[in-house]
Chains A and B, each alone.
Chain A
Amino acid sequence: MNVLAFLIPVALLMGLGGLISFLWSLKSGQFDDLQGATYRALFEEDDIERDKSE
């Protein structure tokens, strides 16, 4: 049964980690524009810079 004393906290901590990272991403506005985010992932960082020079 000693293993439980180890496993339960580990499981809980992992869950908490997920929860906290979700709350953080929510707070930092990553869920504000779900449609846009699907496309932004495909842009190169310097694309906008290059468009400027054109």
Chain B
Amino acid sequence: MSLEQNSVEQFVVEGLSCPSCIRKVEGALKENPKVGDARLNLSTQRLSVEWANDNHHDPDDSLLIIDILKKIGFNAYPLREKKNTSDETELKGLLRAIAVAGFAAANVMLLSVSDWFGADMGESTRQLFKWVSALIVLPAAAYAGLPFYRSAWSALRHKRLNMEVPISVAVILACGMSLAQAISGSGETYFDAAIMLLFFLLIGRYLDRKMRASAKSTAQNLVSHQSFFANVLNRDGSITKTMLEHVKIGDSIIVGSGERVPIDGCVIMGKSQIDASLITGETTPEEVCIGSKVYAGTINLGQPIDVKVEHSSGNTTLDEIIHLMENAEQNRAKYVRLADKAAGIYAPLVHLMALLTFLAWFFIAGIGWQSSLITAISVLIITCPCALGLAVPVVQVVASGRLFKAGVLLKSPDGLERLAEIDTVVFDKTGSLTLGTPQVDSFGTAMVKELQIAMTMASRSAHPLSRAFVAFCEAKKISSAEKVEEIEEEAGLGLRAIHEGCEYRLGNRKWCNIGDDHDQVSNHSEIWLVGPNNRTVKFTFKDKLRSDARETIDWFKQNNLDVIILSGDRLPVVMELADHLKVEHYFGEIKPQDKAKKIEELKQQGHKILMVGDGLNDAPALAAANVSISPSTAADISQTASDFVFLPQGLSSLVDAYKISQKSRRLVFTNFGFAALYNLIAVPFAALGFLTPLAAALAMSGSSIVVILNAMRLNLANPVDFGRIKK
């Protein structure tokens, strides 16, 4: 690519859904004189911006890009980690190897087929064909086989056997033996088998690596979604937007109404309410005043506050949680992937069989070492794990495509295998079973016209309650009112507007001049609408259950999985919810550390656990569980800690993910079964010396096709639809 390394910056862009997005984004950016070139990659959701001024740009320019994109409706974030170039070069190397192997395999097959079927071909022509084959295959195999040779060599140096060892041995021996046959002018050559083997295996390996790389880049994109700038208050009272990396301890920052607190600190001015549900799981907003501590990730619901940054002490809640999470993650690294398990059994077996064949022919049949060696090599060629190399990757690729359609992003390559083994599902409450954001619960005596006016006003505000209200109205198909004029927002209080000459106010009690004695003050958040003649309407908000939480839990229970609720929220709230969902095992008021401990306890009892959670307080538990999933609304750290991220509002994608994992596990095993069956049939023939190059070629491509078709069966399964079941 023409883009140079140092003058390019990468961004993650959200909300790319339409084809014209590319044009919009690139067009808007290229307009700016500071931008030299902009290129959007739709597959990775990343944007490369090349600066016009090559040598230098200051960090504020990144904010400029983000602002430009925000104006046209896209959220962008600077890419946190450097682009992983080693992954990309490996993938490209594999593609090149596939191309070379494919070219060689196709051309050699042309020669081989005429050799096998050309009955009236002269001996010298046959010989010519063999030499041409050698000329094509030897360099191609030397190049295309490199990824395998390297891995095999490093395994052998560490005195281990992996899948690459039998592959390398088979390819090298097949080429060597065929060359010897070509020179001596007698016997069969296996050039086509050797290169075809490499071709199929390279495809399998490419798919495997591609999936790992895309899982990794999904993870990186998610990491970048953290809030990345803060509004720093300067001594002279001016405000500068600063990248988070450049904010120093002791700086004062302003957290506006409805904004997320970007960094840990202590309130030095102002009074507000903080929604800390992401950290503690507690849904009732917390009152903060001067001296209160606020944590990164919480949301300021009330008026703007000034916060003094005190992040680096290393003893903050956040640091402690991260530390816990890292500890828990180490245990998980011990998981051995299915393919590696299979290789551990398969590789020694293959070598042993080849050795036995050689010994049997040499000592028992006594046919001389050359002939015995040729038979032994043909055993190696035929047993080579062509189907085995494809068995897992193809299933995984098909499965991750299915997951994506179900709205689930796979973040760790072996997550799918671990998900298939679970027997217990542990749910967090806030944000996992519930939506985690306020939803309109009641709207009193509101008339449609009032709803329309209120919606028009609310749509001008970024406050979480306003947004919830707008979403509610949109769901109810309430259109915005016309002729609502002079809409003004007073941060932390409410909105004011004029409609048909009358003033309307939408906001909290104070804003609407409603005393605490009027209507009871409840635990739930509320906003009021005051219209002409002092008519008041009250809207209350509540954290609601996800629409299909009940069905999802029932489904898991029907399928003999234990369901447990583990929440940091108050016990009565958790109890009510558990009753409603008919979950017998639940725990409330649990600290983050204890959540992880609880998971460890369950694991020690032999349970395999799926943890579903979103809050910071869940992060250690997510890391401790065998496999974990979090919603895309979750705290950044939780998303980092989990293996899957699910996108839509419903929980049914959890069931989908579980079903897909189960099905793909079954398919992997049937694929292993096919591979074993094929060997069971083919090996005796090869060991007895009946193998012909034609049979080898047919067996190899046949078994690969069977394995791929088998994997495609995953696409036949239907996604769950609770709506349909209910009917």
Chain A: interface residue total (CB-CB under 8 A): 28
Picked from A18, A26, A36, A52, the residue with its CB within 8 Å of the CB of B103 is A18
Is B241 interfacial (CB-CB < 8 Å)? Answer: no
A18–B103 alpha-carbon span in the complex (Å): 8
Is B1 interfacial (CB-CB < 8 Å)? Answer: yes
Residues on the A chain within 8 Å of B132, using CB: 8
A23–B99 CB distance below 8 A? yes
B99–A42 CB distance below 8 A? no
Picked from B30, B42, B96, B107, the residue with its CB within 8 Å of the CB of A48 is B30
Contact flags A1-31 to B (C-beta < 8 A → 1, else 0): 1001000100110011011001100101101
Instruction: For residue B262, give the distance in angstroms from its CB to the closest CB of chain A.
Output: 32
Determine, out of B16-24, B349-357, B557-565, B575-583, the stretch whose residues face the partner at the interface. B16-24
Picked from B23, B107, B125, the residue with its CB within 8 Å of the CB of A47 is B23
Residues on the A chain within 8 Å of B92, using CB: 26
B27–A23 CB distance below 8 A? no
Contact flags A36-54 to B (C-beta < 8 A → 1, else 0): 1001101100011001100
Q: Give the interface SS of chain A, mostly helix, strand, loop or mixed.
A: helix
Residues on the A chain within 8 Å of B106, using CB: 15
Is B234 interfacial (CB-CB < 8 Å)? Answer: no
B107–A11 CB distance below 8 A? yes
Picked from B24, B30, B125, the residue with its CB within 8 Å of the CB of A4 is B125
Chain B: interface residue total (CB-CB under 8 A): 31
Q: Which of B5-57 contact A (CB under 8 A)?
A: 19-20, 22-24, 26-28, 30-31, 40-44
B19–A39 CB distance below 8 A? yes
Chain B residue at minimum C-beta to C-beta distance from A8: B132
A1–B136 CB distance below 8 A? no
B27–A31 CB distance below 8 A? no
Instruction: For residue A37, give the distance in angstroms from its CB to the closest CB of chain B.
Output: 8
Residues on the B chain within 8 Å of A15, using CB: 103, 106-107
A40–B136 CB distance below 8 A? no
B23–A51 CB distance below 8 A? yes
Taking A4-B128, A22-B99 as contacts, is the C-beta distance between A36 and B23 under 8 angstroms? no
Residues on the A chain within 8 Å of B99, using CB: 19, 22-23, 26
Picked from B23, B28, B30, B41, the residue with its CB within 8 Å of the CB of A32 is B41
Contact flags B79-123 to A (C-beta < 8 A → 1, else 0): 000000000000010011001100100110011000000000010
Instruction: For residue A10, give the distance in angstroms from its CB to the closest CB of chain B.
Output: 12
Chain A residue at minimum C-beta to C-beta distance from B100: A19
A36–B125 alpha-carbon span in the complex (Å): 49
A32–B117 alpha-carbon span in the complex (Å): 42
B43–A33 CB distance below 8 A? yes
Residues on the A chain within 8 Å of B100, using CB: 19
A35–B1 CB distance below 8 A? no
B23–A43 CB distance below 8 A? yes
B107–A33 CB distance below 8 A? no
A36–B42 CB distance below 8 A? yes
A23–B40 alpha-carbon span in the complex (Å): 23
B41–A48 CB distance below 8 A? no
Instruction: For residue A45, give the distance in angstroms from its CB to the closest CB of chain B.
Output: 11
User: Which of the listed residues B24, B41, B106 has the most CB atoms from chain A within 10 Å of its own CB?
Assistant: B41
A52–B1 alpha-carbon span in the complex (Å): 25
B128–A36 CB distance below 8 A? no
A16–B23 CB distance below 8 A? no
Contact flags B202-229 to A (C-beta < 8 A → 1, else 0): 0000000000000000000000000000
Chain B residue at minimum C-beta to C-beta distance from A31: B95
Residues on the B chain within 8 Å of A26, using CB: 92, 95-96, 99
A26–B1 alpha-carbon span in the complex (Å): 10
Chain A residue at minimum C-beta to C-beta distance from B121: A1
B27–A51 CB distance below 8 A? yes
Taking A4-B125, A40-B22 as contacts, is the C-beta distance between A33 and B42 under 8 angstroms? yes
Residues on the B chain within 8 Å of A31, using CB: 95
A33–B103 CB distance below 8 A? no
A32–B92 alpha-carbon span in the complex (Å): 10
Residues on the B chain within 8 Å of A11, using CB: 107, 110
B44–A33 CB distance below 8 A? yes
In the A-B complex, the 4 residue pairs with the closest CB atoms: A36-B42, A39-B19, A51-B27, A35-B42
B residues within 8 Å of A by Cβ? 1, 19-20, 22-24, 26-28, 30-31, 40-44, 92, 95-96, 99-100, 103, 106-107, 110-111, 122, 125, 128, 132, 136
**What are 9 A-B interface contacts by the 8 Å CB criterion?**
A1-B125, A12-B136, A15-B107, A31-B95, A32-B43, A33-B41, A35-B43, A39-B19, A47-B23
List 12 other contacts, CB 8 Å, given A33-B44, A48-B26, A52-B27.
A4-B125, A11-B110, A12-B136, A19-B100, A22-B99, A23-B99, A26-B92, A29-B1, A32-B41, A36-B41, A39-B20, A43-B22
